Amino acid sequence: MTDRQEIFAKVAEQIAPFNKKGIALAEGTTFAGDLEWDSLTVMDFVAAIEDEFDIIITMNMQAEIETVGQLVDAVEKLRG
């Protein structure tokens, strides 16, 4: 697995408990549209991702992230 694939797998693992409808995950899956997450779910999920990767995703960055792929990119960058 490449670094990116590894991150994708870990992100998918964190999405699972919040993925109530069992939506299949792809790069383009959106959090608000496809997964239908409200702001409270987003907050819990972001905290889980931050803990998993030991990073901070600021609210400014969160506003730019709509899809799973974009989140994976952001995590890859933040982990440095």
Residue numbers of the site for other proteins (CB under 8 A)? 38-40, 43, 47, 50, 54-56, 58-60
C-beta of residue 46 within 8 angstroms of C-beta of residue 56: no
- Minimum CB distance to other proteins smaller for 9 or for 43: 43
Task: State which residue, 25 or 66, has the beta carbon closest to other proteins.
Answer: 66
User: In angstroms, rounded to a whole number, what is the distance separating the alpha carbons of residues 43 and 50?
Assistant: 11
Burial classification of residue 11, based on how many CB atoms lie within 10 Å of its CB (0-12 exposed, 13-18 middle, 19 or more buried):
buried
Please say which residue, 12 or 78, places its beta carbon nearer to other proteins. Answer: 78
Shortest Å, Cβ 66 to other proteins? 17
